[in-house]
Structure 1
Amino acid sequence: MSRKYPRPTHPPEQLMLAWQSASLLLDYPDEELLARLDLIRSASWQLPAPVGQPIREVVAHLEATPLEELQADYVETFDSRRRCNLFLTYFAHGDTRKRGMALLRFKQTYLRSGFLLDADTAGGGELPDHLCVVLEYAATVDQELGRTLMLDHRAGLELLRLSLRDRGSRWAGAVEAVTATLPPLRGDEMDAVRRLAAEGPPEEEVGLAPFTVPAADEPLPMPTFPGARA
């Protein structure tokens, strides 16, 4: 059951623009995304600086970098590093059985709203906890429920932001724009972020090796969570 959270401080129109823009920018880069960059930049000027400026920084990087280089960097960043993965339930539950129940909650939330996951959904038919999917749902279907899904996994979202910033990733701005629309972290949430950074996502207690926290720039083997690109 979700806890109670403070009400949004941004109007619905700004939340829609911010979350839809971030959803697009965090998806796997392709020609369709590049064609939308002017529109995303224009929309960002309707947002307060802490939200709009990071979005414009990501747009500028995407415009200035060859597509093949963007795609390779995207895979290296999000598909090969546990602390930079875009699946929110992975941070809280790792590869344990509890993650299946958490994923089911996302899926049921979407189904009750008539939101169907397919190849046309942000994330290209990814799992329901993929950040791009959550952001698209929050922006276009139900802001309150989508925001609650993000806040319920705030520690993972914050660790993602910090990990991207520590790596100097140009995609960090898209996550920073999202967190700028959310309430400030509370004490217990900061404790959860520190604990997650130190211990990593949980593993099953039987039959699996314990999770060890890698160095910030240490390459990792392809993660076992579904959705990673081959």
Structure 2
Amino acid sequence: MIELQLISRLLEYPDAELVAHRQELFDALSHASNLEQSDTHALGDFLRDLVSQDLLDAQASYGELFDRGRATSLLLFEHVHGESRDRGQAMVDLMAQYARAGLQLDSRELPDHLPLYLEYLAQLPQSEARGGLQDIAPILALLSARLKQRESRYAVLFDLLLNLAQTAVDPDKVREKIAGEARDDTPQALDAVWEEEQVKFFADAGCADSDITSHQRRFAGAVAPQYLNITNGGQQ
């Protein structure tokens, strides 16, 4: 499904290559036969807006949206397993799926990164790709709702994925679920995460009674941290 390749590329960090190959993306969009006409227009509008932005502004907005906090993380297992040990096994299982499909990962890539998962689905027969989208539909709906709450245009990409999945997720229930959520991308929330990670690091290091732990406690009390290729081929 070439639609999944398109959306995968648009969910990656915007770079100069994206802008340079924008016409190829528009050409690929003309072959997106699995989208309704209104969805094709919505995807075209998103692409046009993205490539018309100043690149540095687009990159800054992307980083603020997807790299600060966990609520809008593009790492799928972040929303399923969090920091539990089950996440490691889930990663191994997903990598095995990729290997069976002949997909080789770069050593820096995490297998649950949504753009990578979409690239994998794009190589599968349409029915299997749709099933893969249905597997993550609740996560897609959650991300869509949170992005709309933040008035981000990226929400349209998640709505398009849900349409391609052809599965029903009650948007009212999702909105109700996130209604009382506190933002996790504020400086205060990021400070709290930083402090939690520092405590966890020293605890895991087995230094509960050491001078390091004593120093860490004094430090935490004295100082508060301030901040913490798409191709036209492959259509299924």
State how far apart, in whole Å, the 1-side matches of 2:97 and 2:85 are.
20
What amino acid sits opposite 2:37 in the alignment?
A
* Residue aligning to 2:165: 182
State how far apart, in whole Å, the 2-side matches of 1:62 and 1:186 are.
27
* Structure (1 or 2) with the larger CA radius of gyration: 2
Q: Write out per-residue CA displacement over residues 87-142 of structure 1, whole angstroms, 9 at most, x where no aligned residue.
A: 111111111111112222211100111111117xxxxx421111100111111355
State how far apart, in whole Å, the 2-side matches of 1:53 and 1:173 are.
11
1:28 aligns with 2:16: no
Gap change, CA 1:168 and 1:195, over 3 Å in 2:
closer
State how far apart, in whole Å, the 2-side matches of 1:22 and 1:128 are.
17
Contact 1:88–1:157 (8 Å) recurs in 2: no
1:214 aligns with 2:182: yes
Gap change, CA 1:175 and 1:132, over 3 Å in 2:
same
Gap change, CA 1:71 and 1:64, over 3 Å in 2:
same
* Residue aligning to 2:74: 86
Map 1:120-199 onto structure 2 (within 5 A): 125-141=108-124, 143-185=126-168, 193=174, 197=178
Contact 2:137–2:167 (8 Å) recurs in 1: no
* Residue aligning to 1:65: 53
State how far apart, in whole Å, the 2-side matches of 1:190 and 1:27 are.
28
Q: Which moved more, 1:171-180 or 1:130-139?
A: 171-180
Contact 2:138–2:169 (8 Å) recurs in 1: no
Consecutive unaligned residues in structure 2, runs of 5 or more: 198-227, 229-236
Alpha-carbon offset, residue 50 of structure 1: 4.2
Gap change, CA 1:140 and 1:176, over 3 Å in 2:
same
Contact 1:115–1:137 (8 Å) recurs in 2: yes
Consecutive unaligned residues in structure 1, runs of 5 or more: 1-15, 120-124, 200-212
Please give the secondary structure, in 1, of the residue aligned with 2:190: coil
Gap change, CA 1:134 and 1:143, over 3 Å in 2:
farther
How many residues are matched?
191
Please give the secondary structure, in 1, of the residue aligned with 2:102: coil
Alpha-carbon offset, residue 34 of structure 1: 1.1
Contact 2:18–2:51 (8 Å) recurs in 1: no
Identical aligned residues as a percent? 32
Contact 1:50–1:180 (8 Å) recurs in 2: no
Gap change, CA 1:73 and 1:153, over 3 Å in 2:
same
Gap change, CA 1:93 and 1:194, over 3 Å in 2:
farther
State how far apart, in whole Å, the 2-side matches of 1:175 and 1:140 are.
19
Name the TM-score, length of structure 2 as normaliser: 0.69
